[in-house]
Each structure stands twice: as structure tokens, then as C-alpha cells.
């Protein structure tokens, strides 16, 4: 063959390939537009907010889906110079999937529950039994699950690209919950031309599964969305996840880091039966007392005199002189034991703020001062506070904590009897400083100063030097020293936070976003709080007020709080319905099972049944059971899919299920007996337990 003939042959080959490519592109253009339209219709039906976002989205100039030699779509993301896939996206996806399902990466929580011998509460007893049973199976040293089973509770997919991974994964495996996390909205937009999302949605729906789309979200938005799902659906929908990263990007990596670094938050704040039942009893007794409840004021009004929220953190010591200088021109909220620290400085609080419901709160007050010390003080607390606490103060105002059995129950009664809706406070927990800040926002103080609200430990110090925790050996022992989370410092040094402190910090930042008209100053060292202005103690300048602070205090009490009276009976408490709920849960649990899938379906049916009561007039019964259900379901589901040997998994599950049935039966009996009993969990029990462990 001559050189000319070779050139002609090469040209013919190139022309043929070009014509074939043109044909592929023309065919892809036709089918991809049809697929896009089909997907939009599906999203309009099942996910209208996503459909609106997609229809409003404007892709960048030059947006183009590449067509590979296999006729499949490919795409170059905006911050990349190379396509997501090779020339054969489907085969590449299959090989990646085979590798990552043969040895899957799973979220896993190690469960262990130690309960004191003298803790006879129902929840504590059954959590102790749960812990012992889990330990017994862990000691078998069975091989842990490696290869992804055909069915698994949850798929947590990070960066789904053009969607090929989803269709390939679901062709071989099924899940109860599937999370589609794609931070790049344009990439997901491109996937609508390449993947039949309509078919995916309908297939998952037909199997009774649930599909969550988290598209185009920042890292914070992503985790907030997960947090909301955990609250709305239940943490079991996230707790045991097959975690899969389809393609790398900075944003995808950040979402993965957020998921694992903040995973503990998804398992916090469950509540449990004894919390719920004592909260209900306390709340009803508090309505019968001479206390007042926080009510909304419309239109929104603001108080011009600044409020100072005083926590008992180490930075309080450096702020003592500043507090003395401004005390006559501000309203002072003392958080919990900070009341004693202020007293040592000669500073009187205008309001004492409390949040914890157990009898330990009352005992700690009597450990700190004689009863007479509180007789001239105002109290701000939550509706589930231990009732005897209220009798100590000259005036008390309570806010609805929520979401609580007590809160939703009394909200309904007040609505029925007074035709008035009492909203829950925004982010009033988990710690007392959160409660104080929430009250400040609800009452409408325009300027808020935080002193000693550190949300962490400074140089190993946990509390102010004037605190009872510094002087009383028993109180020193109950401090949680497990600070493992570094938080950015407000001024010069970072702090270390426990899980609870970090959660409190997160809730403060969420609260600050709810009203931008309120200015919050974070004074001194401690953790930086996004939305609050960091200032030193020397920079605190508050001019002499034209108002008399006592008048401002009285006006706040009169304008924002109201007394309510009502009665309850068996019908309102719904004893019979609670019996039926418990019986039905145990009926479901008594059904036979012979596979992981059948076992997990038992838990899913129980959970969906309980959650069906969430937004009904019997929502208090949902909250009565929900926390305990999560405390059992999460480890049950985890253990069910923890061992490679399915028989070991089912044996473990069966043992835990029997415990859970007994727990449910115990709740059924106890509800009628304990709905009006106060908590008896006092400091004597706490100290006795701590002294035993030393």
C-alpha cells in the first residue's frame, strides 16, 4: 500500500468515526431531552421543591454533556479539567461498585450502657439489660460484616455524578433509606439527561423505601438537612449506613468529613420514657401552681435595656470587674450554678435560669443556698422543671421546652380551652445557657451580652473559680471531663468541648440566625459563636440607662407571661390508646422472621406506626415512646447488620427484640401509675454512684 493509499484509508477511518460520533450525539440529544422531560415530571410529582430548583437553574455558558464511544453521557464539572468518567462510564461504574461492595464501608456505633445498681427507673433497667446482651454477643468475636448484603438499612451516597452509580447499585441491592448527596447542582442537572431518575424514584417507592435528595447544599446545609431527617423520620434511618463516594471533589470530601465528624449529633437528644413521663407529671403540676407561661407578643416588641447572660465557665473570673461596673444598667440572667458565683462577687441576678427536670436540680439549689436566698428572686425555667423548685421563688415564668410529651400535650389543651397557641421556645437546650439565650430572644432584648458562656474548657478548667464545682468535692466528681472537640476560640485561645458542650454551641449558633435584629456580644475567652460579636471584658461599655431596671423586669414579666388553668382526665391522657399502641408494637414484634430483611422490616413497621402519631392530637403518646424506641432500635439495627454470619445476627436480634417487648410492656403498665409522679432521682443517688466508681 502506497503512502497516499494509507493517508486515504486513515482519512476514511477518521471520517467514519466522526460520522459514527455524530450519529451517537444525535441519538443522545434526542433520547436525553426525552429523559430530561420525563425526570422533570417525576420530580414535580414527588419532589416539587427540587423540580422548582431545577427549572430555575441556569447552567453556565458552554454547558455541554460529552457523548462517549459507548453512547453514554460524560461531564466535566465546573472546577475540573477532566471528565468524571472514562470513555465507558457504565463499565467503569460497575467495576467501582464491585470493588466497593465487596468490602463495604459502613457507619458504625459501638454501644455500651453502664447503669448504676441503685437506678431503678424503667429505662435504666432495660438499658442495662441491653448493654449486657450486646456485650455477650460481642464476646463471641464473630467476624464483622464486610461484603454488602443484598438488603441493607441505609445507603449514604456522596457525589452521585451522572447517576449511573444509583441505577447500578439498586439493580443488585435494596435499602430502606437512600440518601442522594450531590453538592454540585450543575452535575445533578446534567444527570437528568443521563439517568432515568423517574424509574429510580418509582422503584424505591414500590419497594416501600424512602429516597432523600440533598442537592446543591453547602456543608452546613447538608448536615442540617440530615439532622432534620433524623428528627422527622428517626435516627435509625441514618445510624447503619453503607457509605459510598462515587467521585472525588472538595465539596464531596467536605460533606463526608461533616457526616463522620458530627455523626454523634444524630444520636443525641433522643429522650426516653422516664424523661417523658416525669416531664409530663412536672408540667401538669406546674400548670396547677402559681406560675406563669411564656406567651408570644404580636407585633414583635423589643426591650432596649441590655440583658447579660452569665454562665459559669472559666472566663467568668476575668469578667468580674466588668460585671460589677454594669450591673445597675442591665438585666442579669444567671445560668444555673452561676448564681452562686455571682453572689460571691456581690452581684444579684434579676432572673435565675434553670433547665434540668430531675430532683437533682432542686437538691443542687438547697446545696448552694438556704431556701430564703431564693425568696426574693425571679425564676425562668422550662415547663418540665421539678415542681418544688417553683415554690422557692417569688415569681416564676416557664417556657415550653419541646419537643416533649408534656409540651405537645399541654399545647393542645391550652388551644382547646383558651383558643391560644403556645409555641415552643427555639433551641432551649441542651444546657441552661441555651435556655437563657432562648428566653432573651423570646422576650425580645435587643442587646445580649454573654459572660462565662464558654461552651468548652479553658486550659483544662471546667468552671469559674467561684463555682460550687471548684469548692465541693462531690460536684467536682460529676463534671464530664471527656472534652475531645476543639472549638475555635472567641479571642486568643481555642477551647475543648464535650459532646454536650459542642451540641450546645451548635444550638446557640442556630438560634442566633433566627432574629438578625438582636445583637449578641460574646465577652472574653471561650468558644467563638458564629453570629455573635467577640469583645474583650475591657470593651464592654454600657451607658447609664434612662430606665429603672426594676420597672423593665416587671414589664417583661407582665407582657410576656400568663397564667393558665385546666383539668385533665383519662380521656385526655388517652390511657386506653397507649395500651393499644403498646399491644400493637408487641404484636408486630411477635411475628416470625428468618432473614435480616424480615427482621429489619419488623423495626421499620414499628417505627412507622409510632411516628404516625407524631402530628396528631395524641402526639404526647408518640413522644412517650419515641426516645426509648430509638435507644433500642438503633443498636438492634446495628447489631443485625454487624456480623458476617447472618445466623449470629439473627440470634442477637431475637434476644434484643425480647428485651424490647418487655420494655414496651413495662411502659404500658407504668403510664397509668406514673403520669402524675414527680422524679425521685436526687443528688444523693448521683453522688453515691460517683463515689462507687472512684
- Mean pLDDT of the residues in the chain: 90
Closest CA to 388 of 278, 279, 286: 286
Half-sphere exposure of 5 toward its Cβ, with a 13 Å CA cutoff?
A: 2
pLDDT number for residue 693: 47
Q: What distance in Å separates the CA atoms of residue 53 and residue 572, rounded to the nearest whole number?
A: 44
Mean pLDDT for 629-639 is 93
Whether the per-residue pLDDT at 335 is higher than 50: the answer is: yes
pLDDT band for 687, please (50, 70, 90 cuts).
Answer: low
- Specify if 531 maps to a domain: yes
Closest CA to 353 of 334, 330, 377: 334
Mean pLDDT for 677-689 is 69
- Specify if 575 maps to a domain: no
Cβ-based neighbours of 396, under 8 Å, separated by 6 or more: 289, 290, 291, 292, 378, 379, 380, 381, 390
Higher pLDDT, 81 or 275: 275
- Specify if 169 maps to a domain: no
CB distance 401 to 282 below 8 Å: no
Closest CA to 398 of 632, 194, 203, 563: 563
CB distance 435 to 381 below 8 Å: yes
pLDDT number for residue 30: 80
Mean pLDDT for 583-601 is 96
CB distance 124 to 274 below 8 Å: yes
Mean pLDDT for 618-636 is 95
- Tell me how far the alpha carbon of residue 459 is from its chain's centroid: 29
Q: What distance in Å separates the CA atoms of residue 226 and residue 210, rounded to the nearest whole number?
A: 14
Out of 117-121, 150-154, 202-206, 554-558, least confident range: 117-121
Mean pLDDT for 22-37 is 80
Give a three-class secondary structure readout of 450-517: EECCCCCEECCECCCCCCHHHHCHHHHHCCCCCCCEEECECCCCCEEECHHHHHHHHHHHHHHCCCCC
437: cell is 439565650
For 245, the 3-state DSSP assignment is strand
How large is the greatest C-alpha to C-alpha distance in the chain, in angstroms?
113
Mean pLDDT for 93-110 is 90
- Specify if 613 maps to a domain: no
Place of cell 431596671: 549
CB distance 244 to 165 below 8 Å: yes
pLDDT band for 1, please (50, 70, 90 cuts).
Answer: low
Higher pLDDT, 71 or 414: 414
Out of 274-278, 336-340, 464-468, least confident range: 464-468
pLDDT number for residue 22: 67
Mean pLDDT for 130-143 is 87
CB distance 352 to 378 below 8 Å: yes
DSSP 103-162: T-EE----------TT---HHHHHHHHHHHHHHHHHTT-PPBP-SPPSEEEEEEEE--TT
pLDDT number for residue 9: 63
Sign of the alpha-carbon torsion through 613, 617, 618, 624: positive
Which run of H or of E encompasses 16? helix 3-46
pLDDT (tens digit per residue) in 397-456: 999 998 899 999 999 999 999 999 999 999 999 999 999 999 999 999 999 999 999 999
% of the chain beyond a pLDDT of 90: 71
pLDDT number for residue 19: 54
Half-sphere exposure of 166 toward its Cβ, with a 13 Å CA cutoff?
A: 30
Cβ-based neighbours of 87, under 8 Å, separated by 6 or more: 68, 69, 70, 74
- Specify if 107 maps to a domain: no
Sign of the alpha-carbon torsion through 328, 490, 454, 431: positive
Whether the per-residue pLDDT at 474 is higher than 70: the answer is: no
Mean pLDDT for 240-247 is 94
Q: What distance in Å separates the CA atoms of residue 675 and residue 104, rounded to the nearest whole number?
A: 46
Mean pLDDT for 595-616 is 94
Number of residues that make up the chain: 694
Out of 8-17, 60-69, 206-215, 224-233, least confident range: 8-17
Q: What distance in Å separates the CA atoms of residue 327 and residue 100, rounded to the nearest whole number?
A: 62
pLDDT (tens digit per residue) in 380-392: 999 999 999 999 9
Helices and strands (H, E) in the chain, number of each type? 27, 19
First to last CA, the chain: 94
Closest CA to 630 of 360, 175, 336, 235: 235
pLDDT number for residue 394: 96
Q: Supply the range of the domain harboring residue 391.
A: 291-562
For 642, the 3-state DSSP assignment is coil
Tabulate helix, strand, coil % of the chain (nearest 5): 50, 15, 35
For 543, the 3-state DSSP assignment is coil
Which run of H or of E encompasses 575? helix 575-589
Mean pLDDT for 528-551 is 92
pLDDT number for residue 694: 43
pLDDT band for 28, please (50, 70, 90 cuts).
Answer: confident
- Specify if 419 maps to a domain: yes
Cβ-based neighbours of 443, under 8 Å, separated by 6 or more: 294, 303, 556, 560
Whether the per-residue pLDDT at 689 is higher than 60: the answer is: no
Beta-carbon count within 10 A of 618 CB: 19
Closest CA to 624 of 281, 350, 305: 281
pLDDT number for residue 513: 94
pLDDT number for residue 676: 94
pLDDT band for 554, please (50, 70, 90 cuts).
Answer: very high
Whether the per-residue pLDDT at 682 is higher than 90: the answer is: no
Which run of H or of E encompasses 519? strand 519-523
CATH code (residue 532) = 3.90.1480
**Residues pairing with 158 in the sheet:** 181, 245
Q: What distance in Å separates the CA atoms of residue 473 and residue 694, rounded to the nearest whole number?
A: 12
As for how many domains the chain has, the answer is 1
The dihedrals phi and psi of 87, each to the nearest 5 degrees, come to -75, -10
- Specify if 50 maps to a domain: no
- Specify if 159 maps to a domain: no
Whether the per-residue pLDDT at 3 is higher than 90: the answer is: no
For 331, the 3-state DSSP assignment is strand
pTM score, whole prediction: 0.88
Whether the per-residue pLDDT at 139 is higher than 90: the answer is: no
Closest CA to 672 of 567, 566, 576, 568: 576
304: cell is 432596649
pLDDT band for 475, please (50, 70, 90 cuts).
Answer: low
User: What Rg value do the Cα atoms of the chain yield, rounded?
Assistant: 29
Q: Tell me whether residue 587 is exposed, middle or buried, using C-beta atoms within 10 angstroms of its C-beta: 0 to 12, 13 to 18, 19 or more.
A: exposed
Mean pLDDT for 6-24 is 57
pLDDT band for 484, please (50, 70, 90 cuts).
Answer: confident
Amino acid at each position: 500500500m502506497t503512502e497516499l493509499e494509507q493517508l486515504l484509508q486513515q482519512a476514511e477511518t477518521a471520517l467514519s468515526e466522526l460520522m459514527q460520533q455524530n450519529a451517537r450525539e444525535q441519538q443522545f440529544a434526542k433520547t436525553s431531552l426525552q429523559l430530561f422531560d420525563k425526570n422533570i415530571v417525576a420530580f414535580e410529582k414527588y419532589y416539587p421543591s427540587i423540580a422548582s430548583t431545577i427549572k430555575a437553574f441556569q447552567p453556565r455558558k458552554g454547558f455541554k454533556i460529552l457523548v462517549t464511544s459507548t453512547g453514554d453521557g460524560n461531564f466535566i464539572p465546573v472546577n475540573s479539567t477532566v471528565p468524571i468518567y472514562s470513555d465507558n462510564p457504565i463499565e467503569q461504574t460497575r467495576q467501582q461498585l464491585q470493588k466497593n461492595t465487596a468490602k463495604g464501608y459502613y457507619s458504625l456505633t459501638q454501644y455500651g450502657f453502664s447503669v448504676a445498681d441503685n437506678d431503678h427507673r424503667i429505662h435504666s433497667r432495660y438499658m442495662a439489660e441491653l448493654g449486657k446482651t450486646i456485650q455477650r454477643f460481642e464476646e463471641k468475636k464473630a467476624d464483622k460484616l464486610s461484603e454488602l448484603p443484598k438488603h441493607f438499612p441505609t445507603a449514604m451516597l456522596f457525589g452521585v455524578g451522572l447517576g449511573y452509580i444509583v441505577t447500578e447499585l439498586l439493580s443488585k441491592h435494596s435499602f430502606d433509606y437512600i440518601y442522594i448527596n450531590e453538592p454540585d447542582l450543575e452535575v445533578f442537572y446534567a444527570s437528568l439527561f443521563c439517568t432515568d431518575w423517574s424509574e429510580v424514584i418509582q422503584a424505591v417507592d414500590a419497594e416501600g423505601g424512602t429516597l432523600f435528595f440533598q442537592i446543591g447544599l453547602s456543608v452546613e446545609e447538608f448536615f442540617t438537612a440530615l439532622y432534620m431527617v433524623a428528627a422527622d423520620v428517626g435516627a435509625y434511618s441514618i445510624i447503619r449506613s453503607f457509605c459510598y463516594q462515587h467521585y472525588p471533589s472538595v465539596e464531596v470530601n467536605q460533606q463526608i468529613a461533616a457526616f463522620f465528624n458530627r455523626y454523634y449529633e444524630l444520636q443525641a437528644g433522643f429522650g426516653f420514657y422516664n424523661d417523658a413521663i416525669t416531664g409530663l407529671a412536672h408540667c401538669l403540676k406546674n400548670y396547677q401552681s402559681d406560675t406563669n407561661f411564656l406567651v408570644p407578643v404580636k407585633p414583635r416588641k423589643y426591650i432596649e435595656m441590655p440583658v447579660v447572660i452569665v454562665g459559669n465557665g472559666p472566663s467568668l473570673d476575668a469578667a468580674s470587674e466588668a460585671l460589677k461596673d454594669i450591673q445597675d444598667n442591665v438585666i442579669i440572667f444567671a445560668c444555673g450554678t452561676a448564681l452562686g458565683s455571682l453572689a460571691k462577687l456581690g452581684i444579684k441576678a434579676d432572673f435565675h435560669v434553670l433547665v434540668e427536670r430531675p430532683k437533682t436540680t432542686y437538691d443542687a439549689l438547697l446545696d448552694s443556698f438556704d431556701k430564703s436566698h431564693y425568696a426574693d428572686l425571679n425564676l425562668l425555667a422550662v415547663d418540665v422543671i421539678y415542681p418544688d423548685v417553683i415554690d422557692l421563688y417569688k415569681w416564676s415564668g416557664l417556657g415550653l421546652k419541646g419537643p416533649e410529651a408534656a409540651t405537645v400535650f399541654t399545647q393542645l389543651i391550652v388551644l382547646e380551652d383558651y383558643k391560644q397557641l403556645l409555641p415552643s421556645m427555639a433551641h432551649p437546650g441542651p444546657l441552661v445557657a441555651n435556655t437563657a439565650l432562648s428566653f432573651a430572644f423570646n422576650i425580645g432584648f435587643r442587646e445580649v451580652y454573654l459572660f462565662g458562656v464558654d461552651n468548652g474548657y479553658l486550659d483544662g478548667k471546667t468552671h469559674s473559680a467561684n463555682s460550687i464545682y471548684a469548692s465541693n468535692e462531690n460536684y467536682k466528681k460529676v463534671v464530664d471531663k471527656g472534652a475531645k472537640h476543639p472549638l475555635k476560640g472567641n479571642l486568643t485561645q481555642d477551647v475543648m468541648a464535650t459532646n454536650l458542650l459542642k451540641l450546645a454551641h451548635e444550638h446557640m449558633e442556630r438560634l442566633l440566625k433566627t432574629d438578625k435584629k438582636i445583637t449578641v456580644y460574646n465577652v472574653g475567652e471561650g468558644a467563638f459563636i458564629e453570629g455573635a460579636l467577640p469583645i474583650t471584658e475591657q470593651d464592654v461599655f454600657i451607658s447609664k440607662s434612662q430606665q429603672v431596671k426594676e420597672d423593665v423586669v416587671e414589664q417583661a414579666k407582665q407582657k410576656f407571661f400568663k397564667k393558665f388553668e385546666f383539668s385533665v382526665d383519662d380521656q385526655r391522657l388517652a390511657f386506653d390508646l397507649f395500651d393499644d399502641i403498646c399491644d400493637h408494637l408487641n404484636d408486630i414484634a411477635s411475628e416470625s422472621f428468618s432473614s435480616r430483611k424480615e427482621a429489619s422490616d419488623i423495626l421499620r413497621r414499628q417505627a412507622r406506626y409510632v411516628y404516625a402519631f407524631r402530628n396528631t392530637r395524641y402526639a404526647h403518646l408518640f413522644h412517650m415512646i419515641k426516645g426509648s424506641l430509638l435507644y433500642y432500635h438503633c443498636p438492634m439495627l446495628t447489631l443485625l447488620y454487624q456480623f458476617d454470619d447472618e445466623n449470629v445476627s439473627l440470634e442477637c436480634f431475637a434476644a434484643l427484640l425480647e428485651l424490647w417487648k418487655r420494655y414496651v410492656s413495662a411502659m404500658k403498665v407504668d403510664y397509668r401509675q406514673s403520669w402524675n409522679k414527680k422524679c425521685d432521682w436526687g443528688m444523693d443517688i448521683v453522688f453515691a454512684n460517683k463515689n462507687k466508681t472512684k
